[in-house]
Amino acid sequence: MSIVFGAIMPHPPILVPPIGKERLKEAEKSKKALEEISSRFKSKDIDTIIVITPHGDVGQASVPVYTGHVFEGNFGAFGLPKPSFSFKGDPQLGLAIVKDTHLATACPETILDHGVLVPLYYPTAAGIKKPVLPIAVAFMPLSKLFEFGQSMAKTIDRLKRKVLLIASADMSHRLTPEGPSGYSPRGREFDEKLVELVKNYDVKGLLKFDADLAEDAGQDALWSIAILLGALDGKKVRPEILSYEGPFGVGYMIAALEIG
């Protein structure tokens, strides 16, 4: 038993139909890909869903692992206070991950941010109801996040958990002048490079990603993806880019990482 499926999913609330409404037509590729990958999740035998978020209780010197028994949250900050979502946690796995590595700390946070809620929206709509273990990123070198992922995978194996692992990741926020972080001509360059690296499953290339390019692009993808790659280290992975687009000035990639 171990990680049974890996995924990279974006987290813009506009992809949630009651929020995006008519504008969701502009992100049809992403919507269809999220429905497709959720269908694939449903075909897997899963005990727990781990979501790695670049938002929430983000760390500096260590990776925050949420160890609560129950989590809840809503999209009130985005004009949709109801419904409120509630998920059972997996504190046993969370605490074991913290115990097994010096790179993590237990986090008491129980309110979920949109970096967790958006990736869970489509699987939940597809009828998937499994315990959730949120993990926030830490702003440490990608190599250290990769190392944390490796340790996490060993703990998952030891506890014989069947885990769906999702890296919540938006790409450049600077694709157009209307984007949330302004415009940079390097935004598109960042997205194209990251899509190509994931498509080729170039782990070394991802871990050595140009830090200046990442900074110029205004991204929040590399940290969560580095943890995902660490957790999948040593496994036979078949990557597939289900979609990429940047309709609102932010890059969205949906990628399936089939294992075995």
CB 69 within 8 A of CB 133: no
Percentage, residues of the chain above pLDDT 70: 100
CB 177 within 8 A of CB 257: no
pLDDT confidence of residue 179: 83
Q: State pLDDT tens for residues 18-46.
A: 999 999 999 999 999 999 999 999 999 99
DSSP designation for 113 = P
pLDDT confidence of residue 178: 85
Two tokens, residue 60 = 């500096």
CB 135 within 8 A of CB 53: yes
Q: Answer whether residue 176 shows pLDDT above 90.
A: yes
pLDDT confidence of residue 239: 98
d(CA 179, CA 250) in angstroms, rounded, equals: 6
Q: Which domains does the chain have, with CATH numbers?
A: 3-259 (3.40.830.10)
Q: State pLDDT tens for residues 93-146.
A: 999 999 999 999 999 999 999 999 999 999 999 999 999 999 999 999 999 999
CB 252 within 8 A of CB 245: yes
Percentage, residues of the chain above pLDDT 90: 97
pLDDT confidence of residue 41: 98
pLDDT confidence of residue 1: 61
Alpha-carbon dihedral angle through residues 11, 149, 214, 211, given to the nearest 10 degrees: 170
Q: State pLDDT tens for residues 212-246.
A: 999 999 999 999 999 999 999 999 999 999 999 99
C-alpha distances out from residue 122 to 16, 34, 125, 161, 162, Å = 8, 6, 5, 23, 20
Strands 63-66, 104-107: pairing is parallel
